[in-house]
Amino acid sequence: MPHLALATCDFPTFPPSNFPTFPLATFPPASNLRLSTSNSSLSPLRITLWGINYAPELTGIAPYNTMLAEWLAAQGHDVSVVSTFPYYPAWKKRAEDRGKFYRKEGVNGVTLYRVWHYVPEKVSAAKRMIHEASYVCLSWIRMLFLPRQDVVIVVSPPLPLGAAAWVYRLIRRTPYLFHVQDLQPDAAAGLGMLQEGKLIRALYKLEAFAYAKADRVSGISEGMLEAYTRKGVPAEKQVLFPNPVDLPEADALPQRGSFRAAQQIDSNTFLALYSGNLGVKQGLNQIIEAATLLQDDPQILFVICGDGATRGDLEKMVKTRALQNVRFLPLQPKENYHEMLADTDLALVTQQAGSGAAFFPSKLLTLLAHGRPVLAVADPDSVVTQTLQKNECGLVVPPSSPELFARSVKTARSEPEHLRNLSKNGRRYISQFETEKVFRKFEREIQSMVEPSLYNEKGIVH
C-alpha cells in the first residue's frame, strides 16, 4: 500500500484548563433503525477509527479496519485512523519502525496516525496488559490533539480502549460506537489464560463499563449480540456489524495448480490448509495430533500458513515426531493467498475448547466466499458450529478429538461430491456478508448517531 506523505510529530498545545465538560447527548436507538428505500446521499462526516491494528498487517482485525476506513473515505467522508506501527501476528515490529514514536501517513484517502506501543518478545498475560495499556495511553493523547470529529469508531480489543473513549467523549463531546471483534474476558476465562479472581472480575467490570458508556455497541455475529443481552446491554444500543467479505465471481477465482506448482505439491495430494494467526486460542496442536494419526497416508498433506505466538512450539512438535505430512509457510500476500485457496481441498478452522460460544473467526467467511469446504474444530454450542450445521456448508468436530479429526479428514478425501455441495452452500450463505451491503448499512448507522434529524416519527432513516 503506497504511502503518499510522511510527517513528524506535531502535537499542538492543548491547555488542560480549557477542557470542557458537557452532559452527554442522546441519539436515536439502534433498534429503531430501518433503512429508507430513498437513494438520497448522506452528508460527509469527519470520522476517526481508533484501533490498534491496521494495514499492512495481513491477518486478524487489521484487514477489516483497513477495509472500513478506506471504504468510508471512498464515499467522501473525511477519515482518519489512530493506530500503531504494524507488529501482528509475529509480535515484532518492522526494522524501519523500531524506535519511532509517532508517524503521520496518507494512505488510500485515509489520514493515518501511528503511535509507539510496547511489543513484548514473549507474550504473557502481564506483558499483554502492558502492551495494550501503552497503546491506549499514547493513542488517547493523540486523539485529544486531532480536530474534533463527528463520530469515532472504537475497535476492541483492546478492551481498555472503551474507558479511554468515554473520557475522550466527555472532553470532546463526540459520540462513539464501540465495535467488539472479540469478547476478551470470556476468552481469557474460557481458555484458562486467567484464573478466577480479582483480575478477571476487574476485566468484566471494565467490559460492563465500556458497554454502558458507549453510544452504540456493535458485534460481528448474532451470537455476540446474544452475549451482549446476557451482559445487560440494552437492545436499542446493539448493532450487528459482521466482518464483510469481497465475494468474487466464480469465473474470477484463480485456476488450480499455481500454488501446488510453486510448492511442489502433487496434484493428487489431498491438501488440508490452515491459514491465519498461530495463537493459543486457535488450538493448532490439534492439527499436529491429527497429522500424527495420518502420517502413514502419503496422499494427505497439512499446510499451516501464518505466524504467531505458538509457531515455534508447533514446529518443535512436528520436528520431534518427524512428521513429513505437515508443512509450514509464512502468511501469503493477497494474490498468493487466493491461489493457495484455489488449490486447497479442505480448509481448516480450529478453536481451542472454551474459546467462547460467541467467537466467530472471520477467516471462515473468506474461505466460504472462495468456495472452499470447511472442517471446523469448535465447541458444540459455538456460533461456528451452529452456522456450519444450519447452512450445511462445513464439517464440525469437537475440540480435543484427534481421532475424529483425523477420520473426518480421511472421509472428506473420499467424498469429493459432498465437498462440492458444501462449497455451493457456503457461497449461497456468504452473500449476506458482501462488502457493499455490510458497509452501506453501517454507514447509515453511524450517520444516525450524528444526525438524529434523519429519523422521522416512524424511526425510518431518510
Q: Are residues 237 and 325 in the same domain?
A: no
Q: Are residues 440 and 428 in the same domain?
A: no
Q: Are residues 409 and 457 in the same domain?
A: no
How many domains in the chain?
2
Span 187-240, pLDDT tens digits: 766 666 666 778 888 888 999 999 999 999 999 988 899 999 999 999 999 999
Helix (H), strand (E) at residue 229: helix 222-230
Q: Are residues 289 and 397 in the same domain?
A: yes
4 assigned to some structural domain: no
pTM score: 0.80
Question: Cell for 440?
Answer: 452501506
106 assigned to some structural domain: yes
Task: List CB contacts of 105: < 8 A, sequence separation 6 or more.
Answer: 3, 4, 5, 6, 111, 112, 114
Nearest to 288 by CA among 341, 327, 260: 327
Q: Could you tell me if residue 249 is left (phi over 0), alpha (psi between -120 and 50 degrees) or otherwise beta?
A: beta
CA atoms within 13 A on the CB side of 419: 20
Task: Show the domain range for 56.
Answer: 25-244+434-461
Q: Are residues 373 and 454 in the same domain?
A: no
Q: How far apart are CA 326 and CA 394, in angstroms?
A: 22
Q: Are residues 364 and 416 in the same domain?
A: yes
Please give the single-letter amino acid code of residue 275: S
Above 90 in pLDDT, residue 114? yes
10 assigned to some structural domain: no
Span 378-425, pLDDT tens digits: 988 888 999 999 999 999 999 999 999 999 999 999 999 999 999 999
| Contact status, residue 201 vs residue 195, Cβ threshold 8 Å | no
CATH number for position 399: 3.40.50.2000
189 assigned to some structural domain: yes
Q: How far apart are CA 285 and CA 278, in angstroms?
A: 10
Q: Are residues 302 and 359 in the same domain?
A: yes
CA atoms within 13 A on the CB side of 356: 22
Above 70 in pLDDT, residue 81? yes
